[in-house]
Amino acid sequence: MDKKTTLKTLQSMKGHEKIVMVTAYDALFASLFDEHVDVILIGDSLNMTFGGQDDTLSISMEQMIYHAKAVCSGAKKSFVLLDMPFGTCGNKKQALKNATKAYKQTKVDAVKIEGGREKAEIVKYLTDNEIAVCGHVGLKPQSARGEGGYSVKGKSEDEKKSILEDAIALEAAGAIMIVIEGVKPDVALAVTKAVKIPTIGIGAGVDCDGQVLVWSDMLGLNDIFVPKFVKRYTDGSSIVKDAIKQYADEVKKASFPNEQFTY
Ligand code: KIV
């Protein structure tokens, strides 16, 4: 088995080798992805992709911990990152209580907090308390309801400057990595050049230090809405539907189980 990917490994990859991150929510898929990726993210996107909800806001810390336990038992080598859900990092004390729970109850290597300079004090507090934190700037799904929807960020010079300041503040606070979501590529490039820690893009162009995608999107399982930045590496939904149809047809016809599948 390959060696475990550590924080040091990821930080040494900046400028040399792209970092591959993907989401996973259970042990089975974490074990399938583990060999080929550097980081597995238990993203709160699971509330939408698997929970069927309209946004990420309603998932709880306990639900995230349940999924994190499963992912950690499937991922033997990848660095494992856990999203801190909405409402769990409102202030330093609350954030430390919840992140400590995640560290104690699971084997995640770091937590991810959505936010930039407004979260810098919290990032520093967690870092000072031995918890590794990844930031998340640009489009922040946990802010979308309050902002009235999802929109690409960094289109104006002011927005670009603001995202850059967010990233710099997070690095100064001790963040180990920064996810940059839904921004114009020049913004992601500027951030990547401005900080020494790795940047991971999603809908942020090719110049970040790595990329992340939601696994069910990249495997083509989600037919309802496919954002522009998602490449479908296979047509998962047709594969699954064809297989389940064949199974259903064979059960109806009583051609399954035949002799081969019978004791
Ligand atoms: O929740 C999630 O899956 C994420 C990624 C989209 C970065 O935060």
Q: Model confidence over 223-260: pLDDT tens digits?
A: 888 899 999 999 999 999 999 999 999 999 999 999 99
Amino acid at 23: T
- Co-location of 249 and 167 in the same domain: no
Residue 1 lies in a domain: no
Task: Give catalytic status of residue 17 as yes or no.
Answer: no
Domain that holds residue 259: 235-263
What pLDDT does residue 1 have? 64
How many other CB atoms are found less than 10 A from the CB of residue 257?
A: 11
Which atom of ligand 1 is nearest to 212's Cα?
A: 7
- Co-location of 74 and 142 in the same domain: yes
Residues with CB under 6 A from ligand 1: 23, 41, 43-45, 83, 179, 181, 202, 212, 214
**Ligand 1 mean position, distance from CA 140 (Å):** 9
Q: Are 169 and 118 in contact (CB under 8 A)?
A: no
| Mutation to probe ligand 1, out of 19, 20, 21, 23 (largest number of atoms < 8 A from CB) | 23
- Co-location of 169 and 257 in the same domain: no
- Co-location of 250 and 217 in the same domain: no
What pLDDT does residue 92 have? 98
Catalytic residue among 157, 181, 250, 259: 181
* Residue whose CA is at the smallest distance from ligand 1 atom 3: 43
Which atom of ligand 1 is nearest to 114's Cα?
A: 8
Q: Average pLDDT in the 153-165 region? A: 97
Q: Average pLDDT in the 13-25 region? A: 98
Which tokens is 135 given? 């930031």
**Ligand 1 mean position, distance from CA 128 (Å):** 25
Q: Are 187 and 204 in contact (CB under 8 A)?
A: yes
- Co-location of 209 and 255 in the same domain: no
Q: Are 134 and 81 in contact (CB under 8 A)?
A: yes
Does residue 90 have a pLDDT over 80?
yes
| Greatest alpha-carbon span in the chain | 70
| Mutation to probe ligand 1, out of 37, 83, 113 (largest number of atoms < 8 A from CB) | 83
- The number of folded domains in the chain is 2
Which single residue is written with the structure tokens 């074990």?
A: 31
Categorise residue 217: left if φ over 0, alpha if ψ from -120 to 50, beta otherwise: alpha
Confidence band for 30, pLDDT divided at 50, 70 and 90: very high
Q: Average pLDDT in the 82-89 region? A: 98
* Residue whose CA is at the smallest distance from ligand 1 atom 8: 43
**Ligand 1 mean position, distance from CA 43 (Å):** 5
Which atom of ligand 1 is nearest to 200's Cα?
A: 7
Alpha helices (runs of H) in the chain, residue ranges in sequence order:
7-13, 27-33, 46-49, 61-74, 92-105, 120-128, 144-147, 157-173, 185-194, 215-218, 236-252
Q: Report the sign of the C-alpha dihedral through residues 54, 237, 18, 204, in that order.
A: negative
Residue 190 lies in a domain: yes
- Co-location of 250 and 210 in the same domain: no
Which atom of ligand 1 is nearest to 179's Cα?
A: 7
Query: Residue 181 is inside which H or E element, if any?
Result: strand 177-181
Confidence band for 82, pLDDT divided at 50, 70 and 90: very high
- Co-location of 161 and 262 in the same domain: no
**Ligand 1 mean position, distance from CA 206 (Å):** 17
Crossing angle of helices 185-194 and 157-173, in 10° steps, is: 30
**Ligand 1 mean position, distance from CA 120 (Å):** 19
Q: Average pLDDT in the 158-172 region? A: 98
Q: How would you class 27 by CB atoms within 10 Å of its CB: exposed for 0-12, middle for 13-18, buried for 19 or more? A: middle
Query: Residue 20 is inside which H or E element, if any?
Result: strand 19-23
Which range among 7-11, 156-160, 212-216, 223-227 shows the weakest confidence by mean pLDDT?
223-227
Q: Are 110 and 84 in contact (CB under 8 A)?
A: no
CA 12, CA 43: separation in Å to the nearest integer?
A: 24
What pLDDT does residue 44 have? 98
CA 225, CA 46: separation in Å to the nearest integer?
A: 15
- Co-location of 144 and 44 in the same domain: yes
